[in-house]
Amino acid sequence: MINVAVIGSGGREHAIALKISDSKLLNRLFIIPGNPGTKSAGKNININADDHQSIIEFCKENKIDLVVVGPEKPLVDGLADKLRLNSINVFGPDALAAEIEAHKIFAKQLLTDNHIPTARAAKFSSKEFNQAEKYLADSVYPCVIKADGLAAGKGVIICSTFNQAYAALDSIFKKRIFGSAGDNILIEEFMTGEEASVFAITDGKEFICLPAAQDHKRIGDNDSGKNTGGMGAYAPAPIVTPELMTQIENLIIKPTLKALDSIGRKFIGCLYAGLMLTDEGAKVVEFNCRFGDPETQVVLPLLEGDFLQLLFSAAIGELDKTSVKYNGGCSVCVVASSKGYPDSYEKGFIIKGLESKIDDVIIYHAGTKEVDGNILTDGGRVLGITSVLKTNDLKTAKLKAYEALNKIHFDGMYFRKDISDKAFSHI
């Protein structure tokens, strides 16, 4: 029997904790720090995810056998390294392997060195403003400018004209809108196609891919307006046919894991490939070193078997590829966000309707907090209202998710109305 600690407090961590709580292998489950939703899966522990020393002490005192790290920041900051030094098993990469997300230039170099399909790109440092300007003058538009470092999901600027690109260059290098995350940039070719998210669960050598999902990154319907952390997702994505999945595994996931291992950066955890499905095949947009949010909320409910066995076997270097399989169902998650998100927004509004139970629906908490028995809004993305069906009937799953959403209310509640519509042209 295994004692588990999940690190994080978002909708993704609620989904991870809930799935782990189904496992026959589980003894005790803690979520550090968790949210009001994760209380139904395990015990919330009020330690900040940045307080690595306290997390290590907690794990030792409570005989934790496995730590599952949700967000990228603790991984990039070396939490997994420190836990491993203390002989605690971790699902999540060391800081060096997490650079695949934290440094886009490192990721791009790894991809191009190993002939893994991705957009062509050139790199520039802030000392090379004039060279970057000249490169932009000779570029084809649209083009994409990316800050090298972590910029809270905002570090990518798509530029339709030279003037826009020049303004982006000026704001990153001179006005330093991304701080040191923008000390170096990539100027990248624009790729056309639909996007898909694929999670590869790996012990560093072997891997399995979970059903593909599609995120909805923009704030507005029909993918309009600003980029967000993700306004909804659905899975499985029919655009990722079995043949395409095999191509993704052989041409992208396998060589990436091998390349990381060969340079001493073995990746243990969830390698999340953000892909563009172009006419020339799947190409890498970006890698993340963790599960995606909100894709996790729709992918995990589609797994039958023992998810904890999958994570534990990966963490100890003996991946059990048979521990889970796709159950034939489908899932749609619609994010309810605060008015104003992804810009500034108010918090502290009472959420009503959470008690209404609807069959085949899970309400994941993200930005919520509990005060005097009330659940209040406490973030940009507040809830993930998620339908889960045993059959692959996305139209019904969409209807169910929105039916459940209509029973929930808070001041300023906003949501997209077209989550999963992308799928219907492929069915």
With 0-12 / 13-18 / 19 or more C-beta atoms within 10 angstroms meaning exposed / middle / buried, residue 23 is buried
**What is residue 208's three-state secondary structure?**
strand
Question: 217 vs 400, which CB is nearer to ligand GLY?
Answer: 217
d(CA 246, CA 271): 16
Strands in 361-365's sheet, in edge-to-edge order, are 214-215, 232-235, 330-337, 381-389, 361-365
* DSSP alpha helix (H) spans, 197-331: 242-248, 254-262, 295-299, 307-315
Question: 95 vs 335, which CB is nearer to ligand GLY?
Answer: 335
State CA 219 to chain mean position distance. 17
Closest by CA position to 11, among listed 231, 281, 309: 231
Binding mask 170-189 vs ligand AMP (x if CB under 6 A, - otherwise)? ------------------x-
Question: 31 vs 284, which CB is nearer to ligand AMP?
Answer: 284
Q: Is 190 in the site for ligand AMP (CB under 6 A)?
A: yes
Under the rule (CB under 6 A), what is the footprint of ligand GLY?
A: 215, 230, 288, 292-293, 295
Q: Is 295 in the site for ligand AMP (CB under 6 A)?
A: no
Residues 194 to 213: which contact ligand AMP by CB under 6 A?
Answer: 195
Q: Is 149 in the site for ligand AMP (CB under 6 A)?
A: no
- Dig out the tokens for 369 from the structure: 């907090």
Residues 258 to 287: which contact ligand AMP by CB under 6 A?
Answer: 274, 285-286
Residue 292 binding target from ligand AMP, ligand GLY, none, CB below 5 to 8 Å by type: ligand GLY
Question: 52 vs 290, which CB is nearer to ligand GLY?
Answer: 290
Residues 219 to 248: which contact ligand AMP by CB under 6 A?
Answer: 227
Residue 295 binding target from ligand GLY, ligand AMP, none, CB below 5 to 8 Å by type: ligand GLY
Residues 6 or more apart from 25 whose CB is under 8 A from it? 1, 2, 306, 308, 309, 312
Residues 103 to 132: which contact ligand AMP by CB under 6 A?
Answer: 119
Strands in 207-209's sheet, in edge-to-edge order, are 207-209, 194-202, 269-278, 281-288
Q: Which residue is nearest to ligand AMP (CB)?
A: 286
* DSSP alpha helix (H) spans, 263-351: 295-299, 307-315
Question: 160 vs 391, which CB is nearer to ligand AMP?
Answer: 160
Question: 147 vs 389, which CB is nearer to ligand AMP?
Answer: 147
Q: Backbone dihedral region of 78: left (phi > 0), alpha (psi from -120 to 50 degrees) or beta?
A: left
Q: Tell me which residues touch ligand AMP (CB under 6 A).
A: 119, 144, 156, 188, 190-191, 195, 217, 227, 274, 285-286
